[in-house]
Chain A
Amino acid sequence: MSAASAAALPSAREWRVWVRRARRDHHARSLGDVLTDVYMLLWLFLVYGGALVASVHRHLQHPSGTPFAGPEPFWVGVSVLLVGSGLVWQALRAVGPLMATPAEQAWGISTPVSRRAWLSPRFVALVLSTSVGLALVAAAVSVLGLHHNEPGWAALAAGAYGAAGIASLVSAQTPGGWRWPRLAGGVLIGVGVLVAGTVVTAHYLGHPFPTPGIALAPALALTGVPLCILALAFAWRSLPRVDMAALSAGAEVATATMSATVWLDPSLLSGVLEVRRWRHVGTVRSRPFHGGPWRRTWVLLQAELRRQLRRPGAMAVWGGLALALYALTMVAPSAVGVGRLLLGYVAAGRLMSGLRTLSSSPGLRRALGGSGREQRIAHLVVPALGMVLWWAATAPAGGVQLDVLELLLIAGVVGAAFRAATRPPMSYGGFVLETPFGLIPMELVLQLARGPDLLGGVIVLRLLFGR
Chain B
Amino acid sequence: MLDDIGFSLPAGQVLVVLGPNGAGKTTLLRCIVGADRPDAGEVLLEGRPLDETDPDVRAAMAVTLDDMDFFPDLSVVEHLELLAYAHGGDPAWVQEVVTELGLESARDQLPATLSSGQRRRLALASCFVRPRKLLVLDEPEQRLDVRGREWLAQRLLTEKAAGTAVLMASHDPELIDKVADARLVIGEP
Q: Among B77-85, B171-179, B180-188, which stretch is in contact with chain A?
A: B77-85
Question: How far is the CB of B180 from the nearest CB of chain A, in Å?
Answer: 22
Interface size (A, Cβ < 8 Å)?
A: 38
Which one of B68, B86, B93 lies within 8 Å of A111 (CB-CB)? B86
Q: How many Å lie between the Cα of A8 and that of B33 in the bound state?
A: 24
Say whether B83 contacts A245, CB under 8 Å. no
For chain B, residues 66 to 106, give those with C-beta under 8 angstroms from any C-beta of chain A: 67-75, 78-79, 82-83, 85-89, 93
Question: How far is the CB of B70 from the nearest CB of chain A, in Å?
Answer: 6
Say whether A22 contacts B87, CB under 8 Å. no
Q: Among B2-10, B48-56, B141-149, which stretch is in contact with chain A?
A: B48-56
For chain A, residues 7 to 26, give those with C-beta under 8 angstroms from any C-beta of chain B: 7-10, 15, 18-19, 22-23, 26
Q: How many Å lie between the Cα of A27 and that of B71 in the bound state?
A: 13
What are 29 A-B contacts with C-beta separation under 8 Å?
A1-B89, A1-B93, A1-B130, A1-B131, A1-B162, A3-B132, A4-B131, A6-B88, A8-B88, A9-B55, A15-B82, A15-B85, A15-B86, A19-B74, A22-B74, A22-B78, A26-B74, A26-B110, A102-B67, A102-B69, A103-B70, A105-B69, A106-B68, A106-B126, A108-B86, A175-B37, A240-B53, A243-B34, A243-B51
Q: How many Å lie between the Cα of A113 and that of B67 in the bound state?
A: 21
Question: How far is the CB of A416 from the nearest CB of chain B, in Å?
Answer: 39
Residues of A with C-beta under 8 A to B133: 2-3
Residues of B with C-beta under 8 A to A243: 34, 37, 51-53
Question: How far is the CB of A441 from the nearest CB of chain B, in Å?
Answer: 25
Which one of A7, A23, A175, A248 lies within 8 Å of B74 (CB-CB)? A23
Say whether A3 contacts B59, CB under 8 Å. yes
The residue on A at minimum CB distance from B64 is A106
Residue B107 interfacial (CB < 8 Å): no
**Chain B interface residue count: which class?**
35 or more
Residue A66 interfacial (CB < 8 Å): no
Q: How many Å lie between the Cα of A114 and that of B58 in the bound state?
A: 10
Q: How many Å lie between the Cα of A291 and that of B4 in the bound state?
A: 42
Q: How many Å lie between the Cα of A107 and that of B59 in the bound state?
A: 13
Q: A19-B82, A245-B35 are in contact. Are A112 and B73 (CB under 8 A)?
A: no
User: Which of B37, B70, B79, B110 has the most CB atoms of chain A within a 10 A radius of its CB?
Assistant: B37
Residues of A with C-beta under 8 A to B56: 3, 112
| Shortest 6 CB-CB contacts between residues of A and residues of B | A8-B88, A102-B69, A4-B88, A111-B86, A112-B55, A112-B59
Residue A101 interfacial (CB < 8 Å): yes
Residues of B with C-beta under 8 A to A115: 53, 55
Question: How far is the CB of B156 from the nearest CB of chain A, in Å?
Answer: 15
| 11 further contact pairs, Cβ within 8 A, besides A102-B67, A111-B83 | A3-B59, A4-B130, A8-B88, A18-B85, A103-B70, A107-B71, A108-B82, A110-B63, A111-B58, A244-B34, A244-B52
Which one of B53, B60, B87 lies within 8 Å of A242 (CB-CB)? B53
Which one of A2, A5, A9, A175 lies within 8 Å of B86 (CB-CB)? A9
Q: How many Å lie between the Cα of A111 and that of B82 in the bound state?
A: 10
Say whether A3 contacts B86, CB under 8 Å. no
For chain A, residues 202 to 249, give those with C-beta under 8 angstroms from any C-beta of chain B: 240-245, 248
Residues of A with C-beta under 8 A to B130: 1, 4, 111
Interface residues of B: mostly helix, strand, loop or mixed? loop
Say whether A23 contacts B86, CB under 8 Å. no
The residue on B at minimum CB distance from A19 is B82
Question: How far is the CB of B140 from the nearest CB of chain A, in Å?
Answer: 15
Q: A4-B87, A107-B82, A113-B86 are in contact. Are A27 and B73 (CB under 8 A)?
A: yes
The residue on A at minimum CB distance from B129 is A1
Residues of A with C-beta under 8 A to B34: 243-245
Residue B36 interfacial (CB < 8 Å): yes
Residues of B with C-beta under 8 A to A105: 69
Residues of A with C-beta under 8 A to B59: 3-4, 111-112
Q: How many Å lie between the Cα of A245 and that of B34 in the bound state?
A: 6
Say whether B55 contacts A106, CB under 8 Å. no
Q: How many Å lie between the Cα of A107 and that of B85 in the bound state?
A: 10
Q: How many Å lie between the Cα of A241 and that of B57 in the bound state?
A: 13
Say whether B58 contacts A103, CB under 8 Å. no
Interface string of A420-456 (1 = CB under 8 A from B): 0000000000000000000000000000000000000
Residues of B with C-beta under 8 A to A106: 68-70, 123, 126
Say whether B52 contacts A1, CB under 8 Å. no
Q: How many Å lie between the Cα of A10 and that of B59 in the bound state?
A: 13
Say whether B70 contacts A113, CB under 8 Å. no
Which one of A1, A5, A8, A103 lies within 8 Å of B71 (CB-CB)? A103
Q: A8-B88, A18-B82, A112-B59 are in contact. Are A2 and B131 (CB under 8 A)?
A: yes
Q: How many Å lie between the Cα of A110 and that of B123 in the bound state?
A: 13
Residues of A with C-beta under 8 A to B73: 23, 26-27
The residue on A at minimum CB distance from B70 is A103
Q: A106-B68, A111-B58 are in contact. Are A4 and B110 (CB under 8 A)?
A: no
Residues of B with C-beta under 8 A to A18: 82, 85
Which one of A23, A240, A245 lies within 8 Å of B36 (CB-CB)? A245
Q: How many Å lie between the Cα of A26 and that of B72 in the bound state?
A: 10
